[in-house]
């Protein structure tokens, strides 16, 4: 698979196509079996389609360069995709729960179970394969929208597995309520996933700090510079990080001797910036230069009021 086909846009377009195919397969499976479990599975596939379309739109927005109104870029657009997907999942899960409770008190006989199982297995295999590829690309591109869509596809695979267990159990035992029970378990599982996606997107929109491993890489890189000079010559403080979609940002103060020339100070800052970008691809660092004996007063009550 070429790099172009592993891009977030390409994979999300593939997700749209796969969602349409799985909707057709799962709806047909529900139609031939009249299984409320398979109906719940088909309903979640509609969420997959809406989520993939919205994620594709947000990834397109996030890729736009900075402009006068968005000088830091459009990277946070991916968080809207994740939050939207979570809200859709929550809505569908509540709908599945309502249908399942009704069916558990008014069970209907199952029909053509073999066909239903076969169609559901084929659709799950498609989702599982696409999710595997998307997870690899999400790590490569650090795309939250792609990761959220991949997680949703994995949830869909587990959903289908749970539905199949309930469907087979109902067919073998004659206990039709097992089909409805499986649908309820599925609904609760995707409800949990929906809430998690909404929470994670909200944290991103609130400028959550970079991941612990990213922060560790930053501090390790800064440490290599302080070790090059005698103790106390250079020091870094007020190091803060934040995430915005695929991008990481870091701000800090670099303290150095007051008798250094502006050229010496600027050269060192450039070295630090380049080293940080190598250590954390996609990082944008803002470094303020200060003399060693000067402190920044970030704890002034006027700044925290």
Mind listing the pLDDT tens digit for each residue in 53-72?
Answer: 877 887 788 778 888 888 77
What confidence score (pLDDT) does residue 25 get? 81
What confidence score (pLDDT) does residue 108 get? 60
What confidence score (pLDDT) does residue 288 get? 92
User: Which percentage of the chain shows pLDDT scores above 70?
Assistant: 82
What confidence score (pLDDT) does residue 88 get? 76
Q: Are 291 and 255 in contact (CB under 8 A)?
A: yes
Rounded to the nearest 10°, the torsion over CA 121, 127, 133, 134 is: -160
Q: How many Cβ atoms sit within 10 Å of the Cβ of residue 162?
A: 20
What confidence score (pLDDT) does residue 114 get? 63
What confidence score (pLDDT) does residue 141 get? 67
What confidence score (pLDDT) does residue 178 get? 74
| Alpha carbon of residue 40 to chain centroid | 23
Sequence ranges of the chain with CATH classification 3.30.70.1350: 212-304
Mind listing the pLDDT tens digit for each residue in 123-161?
Answer: 778 877 887 887 877 777 667 667 777 777 777 777 677
Dist. CA 260–CA 263, nearest whole Å: 8
Sequence ranges of the chain with CATH classification 1.20.1510.10: 4-205
What confidence score (pLDDT) does residue 82 get? 73
Does the structural domain 212-304 have CATH classification 3.30.70.1350?
A: yes
What confidence score (pLDDT) does residue 303 get? 43
| Alpha carbon of residue 61 to chain centroid | 16
Rounded to the nearest 10°, the torsion over CA 172, 176, 177, 182 is: 60
Model confidence, pTM: 0.59
The residues of the chain scoring below 50 in pLDDT are: 1, 301-305
Q: Are 54 and 85 in contact (CB under 8 A)?
A: yes
Q: How many Cβ atoms sit within 10 Å of the Cβ of residue 301?
A: 6
Q: Are 242 and 249 in contact (CB under 8 A)?
A: yes
Report the SS3 class of residue 49. Answer: helix
CATH homologous superfamily for the domain 4-205: Cation efflux protein transmembrane domain (1.20.1510.10)
């Amino acid at each position: 698979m070429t790099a172009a086909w592993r891009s977030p846009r390409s994979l999300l377009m593939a997700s749209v196509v796969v969602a349409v195919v799985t909707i057709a397969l799962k709806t047909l499976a529900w139609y031939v079996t009249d299984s409320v479990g398979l109906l719940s599975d088909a309903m979640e596939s509609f969420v997959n389609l809406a989520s993939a379309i919205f994620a594709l739109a947000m990834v397109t927005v996030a890729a736009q360069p900075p402009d006068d109104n968005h000088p830091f870029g459009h990277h946070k657009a991916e968080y809207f995709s994740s939050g939207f997907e979570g809200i859709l999942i929550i809505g569908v899960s509540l709908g599945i729960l309502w249908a399942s409770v009704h069916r558990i008190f008014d069970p209907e006989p199952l029909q053509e179970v073999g066909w239903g199982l076969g169609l559901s297995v084929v659709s799950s295999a498609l989702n599982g394969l696409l999710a595997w590829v998307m997870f690899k690309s999400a790590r490569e591109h650090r795309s939250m929208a792609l990761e959220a869509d991949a997680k949703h596809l994995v949830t869909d695979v587990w959903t289908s597995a749970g539905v199949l267990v309930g469907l087979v159990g109902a067919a073998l035992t004659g206990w039709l309520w097992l089909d409805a029970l499986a649908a309820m378990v599925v609904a609760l599982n995707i409800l949990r996933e929906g809430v998690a996606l909404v929470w994670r997107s909200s944290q991103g929109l609130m400028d959550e700090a970079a991941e612990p491993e990213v922060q560790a890489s930053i501090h390790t890189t800064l440490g290599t510079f302080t070790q090059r000079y005698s103790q106390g010559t250079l020091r870094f403080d007020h190091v803060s990080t934040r995430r915005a979609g695929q991008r990481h940002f870091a701000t800090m103060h670099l303290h150095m001797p007051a008798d250094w020339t502006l050229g010496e100070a600027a050269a060192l800052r450039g070295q630090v910036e380049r080293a940080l970008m190598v250590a954390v691809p996609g990082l944008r660092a803002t470094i303020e230069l200060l003399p060693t004996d000067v402190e920044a007063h970030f704890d002034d009550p006027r700044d925290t009021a």
